[in-house]
Amino acid sequence: MLRICLAFVLLLPGLTHAAEHLAGRVHVIDADTWNVGGVRVRLHGIDAPELDQACQDSDGSSWPCGAWATHMVREQFQGRMTTCVPVDRDRYGRIVARCSVEREDVAARIVEQGLAFAYRKYSDAYAGAEQVARIEYRGLHKTQIQVPWVHRARKKPKSSETCLIKGNVSSKGERIFHEPGQRYYAKTRISAAKGEQWFCSAAEARAAGWRAARR
């Protein structure tokens, strides 16, 4: 068993040399997706609003709750050291893990503050934390919000008719976006099965964790 765990870790760049965990400084991509020591990590058992997702206040006005949740998580964890225990790997190739900062379960704190929801499809671990946040109207629970998994399901896929920037996954697993006029733009093909996608702006692509092509 030790050999299997060690092999799993050594296959991932930027991981601490430990058999059952990875560790590194946090770079917050969004509220539930982090870069930990150069490795993309999806926090296990929670689901936060998408970066472009909006909510409605009681008076019906719209506000960018997805960007807000990301900002609040970034304020608390950006640059701090975290230790994560891998649980799975998702369809986009990200490590799904339970992470802690100073021995505190970060997912529990995020849900307790109303910055994300318990993702019961995969785990009931944070259902209690969500219930507390809901009762006390913390964060997202004091606004009108479509839960993230429903929001994603209802979003219309972007197409080349309106969004021209191509988000491509390279053979090395790098997420790179190509803009019209760049050298490899015409040759780049988008495959949704590989997690590739269209973007409407370079800022949107960067916010989602993609870097610009060098030429």
Q: Which pLDDT score is estimated for 33?
A: 95
pLDDT of 194 above 80: no
**What separation in angstroms does the CA of 28 have from each of 39, 47, 172, 201?**
12, 14, 22, 20
- Pull the structure tokens for residue 14: 């930027």
Residue ranges of domains in the chain: 2-148, 165-212
Residue 144 per-residue DSSP state: B
| Alpha-carbon gap, residue 174 to 47, rounded angstroms | 24
**Cβ-based neighbours of 186, under 8 Å, separated by 6 or more:** none
Residue % of the chain over a pLDDT of 90 = 51
Average pLDDT over residues 148-175: 77
Q: Which pLDDT score is estimated for 162?
A: 66
Kindly tell me the sign of the dihedral angle through the C-alpha atoms of 75, 79, 80, 82: positive
21-30, 107-116, 178-187: least confident range: 178-187
Cα 123 versus chain centre, distance: 17
Measured between its terminal Cα atoms, the distance across the chain in Å is: 44
CB atoms inside a 10 Å sphere around CB 105 = 18
Q: Which pLDDT score is estimated for 156?
A: 53
Q: How many helices and strands (H and E) does the chain possess?
A: 6, 14
Average pLDDT, the chain: 85
Residue 1 per-residue DSSP state: -
Average pLDDT over residues 19-43: 91
Look up the CATH number of domain 2-148: 2.40.50.90
